[in-house]
Amino acid sequence: MKTLIIIFLLPCILLFLVHAQVNDDNFDPYATLFSPYTKQEWRSYQEKKINEGRKTELTFEVSYVNGTKVKGAKLYIKQLTSDFHWGCGMTHRILNNTAYKKWFASRFTAADFHNELKWYWTEATRGQENYADPDAMIKFADEHGIIVRGHTILWDDVKYNQKWVRKLSPEQLLEAANRRVDSVVNRYKGRLIGWDVMNENLHHNFFEKRLGKNASSMFFNRVHKIDPNAILFMNEFNTTEHVHDEYAPPVKYLRRMKKIQSFPGNSEIKMGIGLESHYGAEPIDFHYVRSSLDSLSQTGLPIWLTELDVKMDPNLRNSSGLQVIYLEEILRESFSHEAVKAMIIWTGASIDGCDVMCMADENLVNTPIGDLIDGLMEEWRTGEIEAMADFNGSCQVSVFNGGYEVKVVDPVSNASSCVSLKVDKVSIPDKMVHVQIMG
Ligand SMILES: *[C@@H]1O[C@H](CO)[C@@H](O)[C@H](O)[C@H]1NC(C)=O
Ligand SMILES: *[C@@H]1O[C@H](CO)[C@@H](O)[C@H](O)[C@H]1NC(C)=O
Ligand SMILES: *[C@@H]1O[C@H](CO)[C@@H](O)[C@H](O)[C@H]1NC(C)=O
Ligand SMILES: *[C@@H]1O[C@H](CO)[C@@H](O)[C@H](O)[C@H]1NC(C)=O
Ligand SMILES: *[C@@H]1O[C@H](CO)[C@@H](O)[C@H](O)[C@H]1NC(C)=O
Ligand SMILES: *[C@@H]1O[C@H](CO)[C@@H](O)[C@H](O)[C@H]1NC(C)=O
Ligand SMILES: *[C@@H]1O[C@H](CO)[C@@H](O)[C@H](O)[C@H]1NC(C)=O
């Protein structure tokens, strides 16, 4: 009996201690976050990883056609695209709102729709499909070069399946789910970067319970046959967010993924790791975040943070101030892992609801969260820079990986040439770029 009481009381006592600490006048949120490391130590490791994984130190060599080096050549380096994607959750509310469209397209190169592609949205009533919203949203995304993840074809959580779906016999369910897959994937094949095939199949098992243990694997197979170039994601919560989640830690995530890959016909699928990243229930364990991302990175597969937000206990003193700090640390930690290819923020503007966090208010004016994200976007791009070659026509510049246009000008004659570059370790393994100017 005593043990039981202690077991029940322990979480309360711990929570009380955390609150007491956070509500202390001299509370320093960084003091414990990375312990035993200091904030500076933690950050300097991230900087090192960012320099290695996200940037390339290029050496430009500028010469005339006859081979003579152009001393003092001027270089105008302009970044056109980034290999890393900032994304945001999008809803149908964007469709009739010009200002919101502009706000979205000026920041983001990736999107996930909140609900509009889900089965319950496109076929609320059996046999009556309606793709008006996702059609229009994908059209908007295409027009602005925004890549879209297809979220989600099926969902293993019973409560997000339509009543009519829940009532089907196993045979009818298989038939209806196959029709769902064929309908949505054929409609958008070739246009989306990838699909969430079976959302949250680590925490839930609606389809496995009715159709057998291989249900997810079967649907991955079916989607792949229709849209072979799309990345097929697992998408799950609590894999990096909570040390104590028993269903979805990295080791179980990877085991499940292997099972899907080993199903007959699935070995060729381009798989992706979707991490919802609904952080909260502080304190967040940053050591766990780092080690989880490290172990998922070992697969060599792309990792996407798909629904990133940080939920705070409103009773904490200055919880909105702490929210910005936690979010910044999650973004920095995630960005320092090269395998993380995109981070999708949940949610953007208050028009889509701000139950957890928002970047902008109803007038699209930045919140502190918006300021943080805009600042990091700026920090993690090269943008436009100028440089000058030395006496030997040589110049070293470190830039973020992506697409570039470089203009080189002879300081004497003003003759110039332009080159387009794709910058990353694979495209420019020796990190040398030779540019010639017509004398
Ligand atoms: C968009 O449509 C919604 C609902 O139809 C309406 O409430 C809103 O005012 C519209 N917004 C704009 C900017 O037209
Ligand atoms: C995630 O895991 C934590 C710890 O086990 C748990 O408290 C929380 O409810 C989980 N989140 C969800 C959405 O289930
Ligand atoms: C699941 O698929 C495997 C092949 O990967 C097969 O050996 C096994 O019998 C299937 N199990 C069920 C329950 O269908
Ligand atoms: C709340 O937290 C932020 C971020 O740490 C800090 O800048 C601000 O001064 C804090 N405000 C109050 C009232 O403590
Ligand atoms: C230019 O090249 C010469 C010979 O390779 C070298 O000695 C000199 O240090 C170089 N100058 C600069 C500014 O790099
Ligand atoms: C080169 O351009 C600069 C700046 O535009 C100008 O001052 C200079 O006269 C030009 N030189 C020649 C040779 O055209
Ligand atoms: C090469 O071309 C440049 C520009 O036309 C000229 O200034 C230079 O003298 C040439 N060098 C040789 C070795 O001919």
- Return d(Cα 226, Cα 75) in angstroms, integer: 46
Task: Return the structure tokens found at 96.
Answer: 């009739």
The residue nearest atom 14 of ligand 4, judged by CA position, is 318
Judgement on whether residues 94 and 70 belong to the same structural domain of the protein = no
What is the domain count for the chain?
3
Same domain, 156 and 275: yes
Q: Which domain holds residue 422?
A: 53-84+380-439
Residue 65 C-beta-side C-alpha neighbours within 13 Å: 5
Give the C-alpha separation, 37 to 40, whole Å.
8
Paired strand residues for 408: 75, 417
Residue 42, domain member (yes or no): no
Q: 67 and 112: one domain?
A: no
| 104 shares its domain with 11 | no
Angle at Cα 151 formed by Cα 148 and Cα 154, nearest 5°? 150
CA of 69 to the centre of ligand 7 (A): 9
Is 315 among the domain residues? Answer: yes
Ligand 1 atom nearest residue 95's Cα? 1
Ligand positioned closest to the Cα atom of 390: 5
Strand boundaries in 340-431, DSSP class E: 340-345, 384-388, 394-400, 402-409, 416-423
- Tally of CB atoms within 10 A around 232: 25
CA 160, 119, 86, 104 dihedral sign is negative
pLDDT tens, per residue, the chain with 439 residues:
444 444 444 444 444 444 545 666 677 888 888 989 999 999 999 999 999 999 999 999 999 999 999 999 999 999 999 999 999 999 999 999 999 999 999 999 999 999 999 999 999 999 999 999 999 999 999 999 999 999 999 999 999 999 999 999 999 999 999 999 999 999 999 999 999 999 999 999 999 999 999 999 999 999 999 999 999 999 999 999 999 999 999 999 999 999 999 999 999 999 999 999 999 966 789 999 999 999 999 999 999 999 999 999 888 888 999 999 999 999 999 999 999 999 999 988 888 888 899 999 999 999 999 999 999 999 999 999 999 999 999 999 999 999 999 999 999 999 999 999 999 999 999 999 999 998 6
Give the Cα separation of 432 and 409 in Å (integer). Answer: 18
241 and 199 part of one domain:
yes
Q: What's this model's pTM, rounded to 2 decimal places? A: 0.91
Residue whose Cα lies nearest atom 9 of ligand 3: it is: 214
What's the 243 CA to ligand 2 centre distance in angstroms? Answer: 9
On whether both 23 and 150 belong to a single domain, the answer is no
219 and 346 assigned to the same domain:
yes
- Please indicate, yes or no, whether residues 79 and 161 belong to a single structural domain of this protein: no
CA-based nearest residue to 316, from 30, 16, 8, 35 = 16
CB-based contacts of 244-250 (< 8 A; 24+ apart in sequence): 247/202, 247/203, 248/202, 248/203, 249/292, 250/292, 250/295, 250/296
Domain presence at residue 228 = yes
Protein residue with least CA distance to atom 4, ligand 5: 392
Torsion on CA atoms 273, 279, 284, 288, rounded to nearest 10: -10
The verdict on 97 and 79 lying in the same domain is no
43 inside domain? no
Same domain for 417 and 369: no
Pair 120, 170 in one domain: yes
The identity of residue 114, as a single letter, is H
The answer to whether residue 277 is domain-embedded is yes
Distance from the CA of 214 to the center of ligand 3, in angstroms? 6
* Inter-residue contact 304 to 348 (CB < 8 Å): no
CATH number at residue 408: 2.60.40.10
